[in-house]
């Protein structure tokens, strides 16, 4: 029997958001094997997802690298894929459609467009709406696409958390990827100080940095959560967020995790995109949006935290 290939490269927030769609796809193709083509940093995490039968790593090397393209095409040909569901919908995956996976039945946002609608117009819709429309166009029921279940990734973090706090905690994510520094609010150090003054010993403040963020995290007045001196893995990150009383973050992967876990929290947006477009807000997890993050003062953020945490 032929297999199904889902393409979703990342980043982390994008893969978190795709979990519901992946579950819907697997339930629809219950008698067929479903594989994910994704980027290397997320391969181990997604390989434990119960809605997948396997994960294939795409190194995403330049398209002029013919040796890489040949190896990728040869690798994918071994899996007998008859259908590709492209949840990435990028120029790279469109290239794969033409030259790496040509001849396969293909589902993408291009097949979802209404007459006269451009892909740019379509991409302005909220991301979960887009995935839902794409799957419905492909006659796949969308029970979970907007109701994402991450319970498969929960772990017992009791012993780890006890190393950093013995009380309820607020999680702060003050960083973002080097490629997207425009997402970074610059006043987290001052915010942490104000949270400490406001709540005194009622809450601990924790930071869970990435590998290139550890030194910067240690400069902030918070408990830096590491395991054996290294960043915690994605499943532990999800479980750490699940146990938090409140989350404050830039528009990054942890913010999307907090949103889909329906944790209380606040995500800070500049003009790089909108909370609506990335489908991040809900009753518990709110967005504070401004034109320029440098103009967003600490008192404004603190006011939102007090209104939602108390």
Q: Where are the domains of the chain?
A: 3-149, 153-309
Query: Could you check whether 3-149 and 153-309 share the same CATH topology?
Result: yes
In 3D space, the residue among 72, 85, 58 whose CA is nearest the CA of residue 4 turns out to be 85
Whole-number Å distance between alpha carbons of 289 and 193: 22
Please give the pLDDT value at position 179: 80
Please give the pLDDT value at position 208: 97
CATH among 3.20.20.70, 3.30.365.10, 2.60.120.680, 3.40.50.2000 for 153-309: 3.40.50.2000
CB 84 within 8 A of CB 15: no
Q: DSSP assignment of 118-179, as one string?
A: -HHHHTTS-HHHHHHHHHHHTT---SSTTS---GGG----HHHHTTT-SS-EEEEE----GG
Please give the pLDDT value at position 180: 78
Residues in the chain, total? 310
Please give the pLDDT value at position 111: 87
Position 310 pLDDT exceeds 80: no
Query: Pseudo-torsion of CA 3, 18, 144, 146, nearest 10°?
Result: -150
CATH among 3.40.50.720, 3.90.79.10, 1.10.443.10, 3.40.50.2000 for 3-149: 3.40.50.2000
Encode pLDDT of 5-63 as tens digits. 999 998 899 999 999 999 999 999 999 999 999 999 999 999 999 999 999 999 999 99
Mean pLDDT calculated for residue range 178-203: 92
**Residue 308, number of CB atoms within 10 A of its CB:** 14
Encode pLDDT of 100-138 as tens digits. 999 999 999 998 988 888 988 888 899 999 999 999 999
């Amino acid at each position: 029997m032929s297999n199904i290939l889902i393409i979703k490269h990342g980043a982390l927030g994008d893969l978190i958001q795709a979990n519901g769609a992946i579950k819907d796809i697997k339930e629809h193709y219950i008698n067929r094997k479903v594989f994910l083509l994704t980027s290397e940093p997320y391969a181990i995490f997604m390989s434990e997802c119960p809605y997948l039968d396997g994960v294939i790593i795409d190194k995403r090397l330049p398209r002029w690298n013919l040796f890489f393209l040949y190896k990728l095409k040869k690798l994918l040909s071994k899996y007998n894929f008859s259908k590709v569901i492209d949840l990435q919908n990028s120029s790279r995956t469109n290239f794969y459609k033409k030259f790496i996976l040509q001849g396969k039945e293909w589902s993408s946002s291009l097949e979802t467009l209404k007459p006269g609608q451009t892909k740019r117009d379509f991409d302005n819709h909220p991301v979960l709406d887009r995935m839902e429309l794409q799957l419905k166009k492909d006659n796949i029921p969308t029970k979970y696409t907007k109701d994402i279940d991450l319970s498969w990734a929960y772990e017992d973090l009791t012993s780890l958390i006890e190393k950093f706090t013995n009380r309820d905690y607020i999680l702060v994510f003050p960083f973002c990827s080097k490629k997207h520094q425009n997402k970074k609010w610059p006043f987290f150090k001052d915010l942490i100080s104000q949270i400490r003054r406001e709540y005194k010993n009622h809450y601990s403040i924790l930071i869970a940095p990435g590998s290139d963020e550890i030194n910067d995290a240690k400069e902030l007045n918070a408990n830096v959560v590491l395991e054996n001196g290294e960043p915690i893995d994605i499943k532990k990150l999800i479980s750490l967020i699940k146990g938090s009383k409140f989350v404050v973050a830039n528009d990054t992967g942890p913010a999307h995790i907090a949103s889909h876990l329906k944790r209380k929290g606040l995500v800070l947006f500049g003009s790089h995109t909108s909370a609506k477009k990335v489908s991040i807000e809900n009753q518990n997890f709110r967005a504070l949006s401004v034109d320029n993050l440098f103009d967003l003062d600490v008192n404004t953020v603190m006011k939102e935290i007090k209104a939602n945490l108390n």
